[in-house]
Amino acid sequence: MQVDIKTSDIRPIRQTFSHIARRFGADKPASRYQEATYDLQPEVNFHYRPLWEPGFELYDTRRTAVVMRDWYAFKDPRHYYYGTYTQARARQQEAQESALEFVDRRGLLREAPGEARQRIEELVLPLRHYEWGANMNNCYVTAYGYGAAITQAAQYQSMDRLGLAQYLSRIGLLLDGNQGASLARAKQHWVASPEWQGLRREMENLFVTKDWFEVFVVQDLVLDGLVYPLVFQALERELSAATGNGFGMSVEFMRDWHGENLRWVDACMKTAAEESPQNVALLSGWVKDWVARSKEALAPWAAVAFGAQGAAQLDEAVSALRQRVAKCQMAF
């Protein structure tokens, strides 16, 4: 008896999904980031217009004055899709939880000098309300933005902001032994203390800004570009020295997150600016206007936080932001 064994060489027609193959070619495998990001934006067959804004389609590029030939040019240098995003944040959260547990066991914040605890309560904890506002603004970018390349990253950004608000709340609980009184007082500082009203005013102005790309520029480039260096770099150095590095350990996630996040923000800004001179002029105008407003808004806070050095610290933050903007081929 003879048995003939035949083998077949089965070659796939393409290495990935058809919409990815049309963009990148069918002869090479696509990355998971590409498959989870590109050409997912619905573009046709909308069955109704939004009743609240009948002049626009449900998804409409006209919701921003920024013009792009390809809205998928906004690549995230971190290559975050849901899987890689959650894995990265899980690792960071594990490290931050360990740091907070150490601070709690050693009582580094609870037993810190009264002046240091008061400064944290008055100058840092109210930022949890700022982070909630940043969550709202990035949710707006996600809802009205165009192209999953930027709206996907904006959604991750909005989730991060709730996590940042929670970590700020944890710091408050570490200050007062899980009583929550420091958080209640911090809310009153946000609502009523003069040094916070400028930032609060600009956040609320941003809530009613219609152009979603302008909201992205102001929240994630301008405001974060000033608030984070002032609070989590300049002020952190002073408060860490007064708390046995307890405060520094408590905000390590904020520093790491901001350093990572600005890579995405700056990449988006540079991509939009490289598209056209019209975009450069538009973006530069937004940045110039909102930097001036934000500097004025933060001046009272800086004066309380740093005393006579407040203006110099604020100017240093503005100078660093100017350098970032210049690398994105814009100016203010």
Question: 40: burial class by Cβ within 10 Å (0-12, 13-18, 19+)?
Answer: middle
* Cα–Cα dist 217/325, whole Å: 11
Return the pLDDT at 7. 72
Q: Identify the CA nearest to 254 among candidates 99, 111, 122, 103.
A: 99
The phi, psi pair for 276, rounded to 5°, reads -165, 155
**Residues in contact with 69: Cβ distance below 8 Å, sequence separation at least 6, in sequence order:** 275
| Topology of the domain comprising 74-327 | Ribonucleotide Reductase, subunit A (1.10.620)
Compute how many other C-beta atoms are within 10 angstroms of the C-beta atom of residue 112: 22
Quote the pTM value: 0.93
DSSP 68: -
Vertex 164 angle, CA 163 and 170, to 5°:
90
Return the pLDDT at 248. 96
Return the pLDDT at 4. 72
CB of 322 within 8 A of CB of 315?
no
pLDDT in tens, the chain (332 residues): 677 777 777 776 667 888 888 888 877 788 899 999 999 888 888 777 778 888 898 899 999 999 999 999 999 999 999 999 999 999 999 999 999 999 999 999 999 999 999 999 999 999 999 999 999 999 999 999 999 999 999 999 999 999 999 999 999 999 999 999 999 999 999 999 999 999 999 999 999 999 999 999 999 999 999 999 999 999 999 999 999 999 999 999 999 999 999 999 999 999 999 999 999 999 999 999 999 999 999 999 999 999 999 999 999 999 999 999 999 999 88
CB of 146 within 8 A of CB of 63?
yes
CB of 89 within 8 A of CB of 154?
no
Q: Identify the CA nearest to 217 among candidates 275, 161, 284, 153.
A: 284
* Cα–Cα dist 230/47, whole Å: 48
* Cα–Cα dist 91/260, whole Å: 14
Compute how many other C-beta atoms are within 10 angstroms of the C-beta atom of residue 94: 10
Burial 260-280 (b: 16+ CB within 10 A, else e): ebbebbbbbbbbbbebeeebb
* Cα–Cα dist 25/210, whole Å: 37
Q: Token match 């040019």: residue?
A: 73
Return the pLDDT at 14. 64
